[in-house]
Amino acid sequence: MPLTRGRIGGYDSERMAFGFTMLNGDQTVECQISDAAMDELAGTRGTPSIARQGQFVALRDVIEQIASGIFDSGPLVKGATIRIFTKHIPKQRS
- Listed by start position, the domains of the chain span 4-88
Is residue 43 predicted with pLDDT exceeding 60?
yes
Is residue 94 predicted with pLDDT exceeding 50?
no
Could you give the 3-state DSSP secondary structure of residue 1?
A: coil
The CA distance from 71 to 74, in Å, is 6
> Apex CA 58: angle with CA 33 and CA 71, to 5°?
35
pTM of the model: 0.91
**Residue 43, phi-psi category: left (phi > 0), alpha (psi -120 to 50), beta (remainder):** left
Mean pLDDT value of segment 3-31: 95
Query: What's the mean pLDDT when you consider all of the chain?
Result: 92
pLDDT in tens, 45-89: 999 999 999 999 999 999 999 999 999 997 778 889 999 999 999
Regarding the domain delimited by 4-88, which CATH topology (the fold level of the hierarchy) does it fall under?
A: Double Stranded RNA Binding Domain (3.30.160)
